[in-house]
Amino acid sequence: MTAAETEVKALLDGWSGATRSKDIDRLMSHYAQDAVYYDLVAPLRFNGADAIRRNFLRWFDTWQSAIGVELRELNILVSGDVAAAFTLHRTSGTLKDGREVDYWVRATVCAQRSDRGWLIKHEHISVPADLKSGRVIIDAVP
C-alpha cells in the first residue's frame, strides 16, 4: 500500500468506526462541508454536511444496538489529492422496533485532500432493485 492509500484506508476506518458507534461528530468530521450524498433512502441526494448530518441522526435513531459494519471487496483508487473507494458493506444489528437486520449495500466514497486532510466529497449507498415488481432487493448477498 502506498502512503496515500494508507491515508485513505485510515479515512475509511474512521468512517466505519464512527458509524459502528453512532458517533455523529466523529463521523461528520470526515465530510466536506459541500459533500453530496446519494443514500439508500429518498430524496435523490442530500446536499451539504448539515443535511447529511440530519439524515445520519435519523438513521442512527432507528438502531437499538451498535451498527455492525463489515467491508468486503474493498478497492481504493488514489492519485494526488483525489481518491475513490468502493466496497460491499454489510450492515447488521437490532433496530428499536426489535427487528434483527443483516443486509449488504454497495458503497462508493469519493474523497479529496484538503488543509484538514482527506474529506469525503461524495458518497453513494444503494441496494439493487427488481424493476418489474418495483421491489427493493434487500437480501442480496455477495
Report the interface residues with its own copies, using CB under 8 A.
36, 38-45, 73, 75, 77-84, 86, 88, 104, 106, 108, 110, 112, 121-122, 124, 126-131, 134-138, 140-142
Minimum separation from the CB atom of position 107 to its own copies (A): 9
CA-atom Rg of the chain in angstroms: 15
Please name the residue that has the C-alpha cell 479515512: 11
User: Judged by CB, which is closer to its own copies: 25, or 98?
Assistant: 98
CA distance 129 to 138: 8
CA distance 7 to 13: 10
Minimum separation from the CB atom of position 86 to its own copies (A): 5
User: Judged by CB, which is closer to its own copies: 3, or 25?
Assistant: 3
User: Judged by CB, which is closer to its own copies: 5, or 23?
Assistant: 5
Closest CA to 37 of 140, 126, 134: 126
Minimum separation from the CB atom of position 25 to its own copies (A): 25
Phi, psi of 98 (to 5 degrees): 95, -15
